[in-house]
Amino acid sequence: MECIKTRRSIRKYKEDDIPQDIIDEIIDCGRHAPSGHNKQPWSFIIVRDRNKIEKLSKIHEWAPFVANAPVCIVLCCTRTKEDYKSVMYMSVACAAQNMLLAAHALGLGSCWTHINDFDEKSVEKKVREILNVPKSIDPICMLPIGYPDQSRSAKHLKDIKDIVHFDKWKNK
């Protein structure tokens, strides 16, 4: 519970390298996520190449901080024509959340960074080109990961009474 409640989006990282066994553990936590029909539609691209990380940091206006991460994991969705696309995407989102929590539990920082946008495909196209992602695979998001070089205070949360309804929707 503490890990869930204390995780914060970290956008500044130390230059220290992250051992592969730690990245493997984070990936392993991702593959333990729930998935629609147990399809496990995820695949992961581990990016350590500084040139590629720099290019990923330029895919949209909210990604520049990615440039200073020593590792960036790109989460992708493998789908087939009969798959219900949004369920598969949500499954990958579940994997991302597991990985964010695993990184935090291991003393690392990360920040969920979108790639796939249903309304604007140019970002996805850039990632496909940078990482040679085939058309049958959809890049969904990326998780820059590193040892935190910033601390974040508790975030303001909506009050539970303002977000919970009992038995039916009730206007507040």
| DSSP-assigned states of every residue in 133-172 | --TTEEEEEEEEEE-BSS--PPPP---GGGT--SSS----
Reading the chain (172 residues) residue by residue, the pLDDT tens digits are 999 999 999 999 999 999 999 999 999 999 999 999 899 999 999 999 999 999 999 999 999 999 999 999 999 998 777 667 788 999 999 999 999 999 999 999 999 999 987 777 899 999 999 999 999 899 999 999 999 999 888 889 999 999 999 999 988 6
Listed by start position, the domains of the chain span 12-151
pLDDT in the model for residue 167 = 93
The CATH superfamily holding the domain 12-151 is NADH Oxidase (3.40.109.10)
* 105, 63 contact by CB (below 8 A): no
DSSP single-letter state for residue 62? T
Residues 6+ apart with CB under 8 A from 96: 30, 75, 112, 140, 141, 143
Whether the pTM exceeds 0.75: the reply is yes
pLDDT in the model for residue 171 = 83
pLDDT in the model for residue 79 = 75
What's the rounded Cα separation, in Å, for the pair 117 and 120?
5
Structure tokens at 59: 């895919």
